[in-house]
Amino acid sequence: MFKSGFIGIIGRPNVGKSTILNKIIGEKIAITSHKPQTTRNRITGIKNIENGQLIFIDTPGIHRATTPLNKFMVAAAKDTFRSADIILLVVEAVEGVHSDDQLIIESLRNIRLPVILLINKIDLVRKKNILPVIDQFQQFFSFAEIIPISALTGDGLRTLMEQIWKLLPEGPRYFPDDMMTDRTERFIAAEIIREKILMLTHQEIPYATAVVVDSFKEDEDKNLLVIQATITVAKDSQKGIVIGKRGSMLKEIGKRARQDLEKFFATRIYLELFVRVRKDWTHDVGMLREFGYAEKT
């Protein structure tokens, strides 16, 4: 018997969804940071095991969205309800039941899928404080399982995989067994660059930037991958911050991105970055579509 299926990972921003995905797959295919709304697109991670294929879908954080970009992210997350076989709802042990958790739970009431509640970040609380959190969530929804985990240490993930296997239906192999993600190399490269912007900049800058890979070419003679990418910001002042004094910030972004790119692609990287301004692009549906943050028509 071969089992396969799609497992959607949902939750409010910054609860550790991408870290969970990376830990399960064993490779960093989704970028992470301490800033909320790091994930903007759905990202698929493929876990191949002896008798099955588990396809995990990391999603943007679900929140009360007001801007076109944020509305796209929430829609991308909720679209998982239609395509998944199992839902993993990630919450935090530290905060207990958050108002946005309740909002998400309400949106799950009309779906007929098993929902596993993952109480993440148990490494940050005492064990005696976890049981009250479990009791609180049990009052809101009938979960298939409730599993305390730490995405950082891996605690609880073996139990999670066992429960997923029990719930997983029989099915075909959807992807080749050597695939870890269905995302393109260009997408991965752009996300790694964006992650470094998130890490190194503050205030509105991380949320006002988009990265597009313009050129992705392999020089086989030099064993070199040449990547050219453009960082788009929404204001002239943001461009100056991203470039930095005498180009210092852009150089640091490029340096850190190149290091991670070389690890991921297992080859030498030549990375060239450009910065441009597209006024208020986060509110322009046409530009959002150009950057892959809106439904294509």
CATH C-level class of 3-167 = alpha beta
CATH 3.30.300.20 given to domain 185-290:
yes
Residue range(s) of every CATH 3.40.50.300 domain in the chain: 3-167
239 contacts 233 by C-beta, under 8 angstroms? yes
Helix, strand, coil share of the chain (percent; to 5) = 40, 25, 35
pLDDT per residue over 205-215, tens digit each? 999 999 999 99
Mean of pLDDT values over 25-38:
90
- Other Cβ atoms less than 10 A from the Cβ of 87: the count is 23
What is the pLDDT at residue 296? Answer: 52
297 pLDDT above the threshold of 50? no
pLDDT per residue over 227-246, tens digit each? 999 999 999 999 999 999 99
Q: Phi then psi for 285, rounded to 5 degrees?
A: -60, -35
> Strands across the sheet with 268-277, in order?
210-219, 224-233, 268-277
> Which residues share a beta bridge with 4?
53
187 pLDDT above the threshold of 60? yes
CA 132 to chain centre: 29
Give 41-61 as a DSSP string.
Answer: S-EEEEEEETTEEEEEEE-PP
Q: How far apart are CA 92 and CA 241, in angstroms?
A: 33
Token duo for residue 247: 């180009």
Residue range(s) of every CATH 3.30.300.20 domain in the chain: 185-290
135 pLDDT above the threshold of 70? yes
E strand or H helix at 208:
none
Sign of CA dihedral 294, 32, 190, 194: positive
